[in-house]
């Protein structure tokens, strides 16, 4: 009976040691997962910062395009005005030549 009790205690001791080893392994795995998760969070934050910078750049480009479009519209209006003035000048020259002849 004493031998059976001793064997039972040895089995319990071995089981406790095995559980302790498994707990340490699980703890190490949890720490590794935590570290990886932290790295992922930093990477996501970096991507977010890059996306914000890209969005700001896109807004700046959009504003520049709008300014260029406004400038082109002004140039077109000036070109049309010059064309009208050239037509008027040509008509004035034609009238002047007609009156001189």
The widest CA-to-CA distance across the chain, in whole angstroms, is 147
CA distance 43 to 49: 10
Q: What is the pLDDT of residue 2?
A: 65
Two structure tokens written together for 44: 């996501």
Sign, CA dihedral 58-61-67-70, equals: negative
Instruction: Say what the pLDDT of residue 47 is.
Output: 98
The whole-model pTM stands at 0.56
pLDDT in tens, the chain (101 residues): 767 877 888 999 999 999 999 999 999 999 999 999 999 999 999 999 999 999 999 999 999 999 999 999 999 999 999 999 999 999 999 888 888 76
> Taking the domains of the chain in order of start, what are their residue ranges?
9-100
């Amino acid at each position: 009976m004493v031998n059976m009790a001793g064997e039972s205690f040895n089995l319990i001791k071995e089981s406790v040691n095995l559980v302790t080893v498994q707990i340490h392994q699980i703890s190490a795995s949890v720490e590794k997962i935590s570290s990886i998760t932290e790295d992922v969070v930093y990477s996501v934050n970096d991507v977010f910062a890059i996306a914000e910078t890209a969005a700001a750049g896109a807004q700046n480009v959009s504003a520049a395009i709008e300014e260029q479009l406004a400038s082109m519209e002004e140039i077109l209006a000036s070109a049309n005005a010059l064309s009208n003035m050239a037509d008027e000048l040509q008509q004035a020259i034609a009238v002047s030549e007609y009156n001189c002849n």
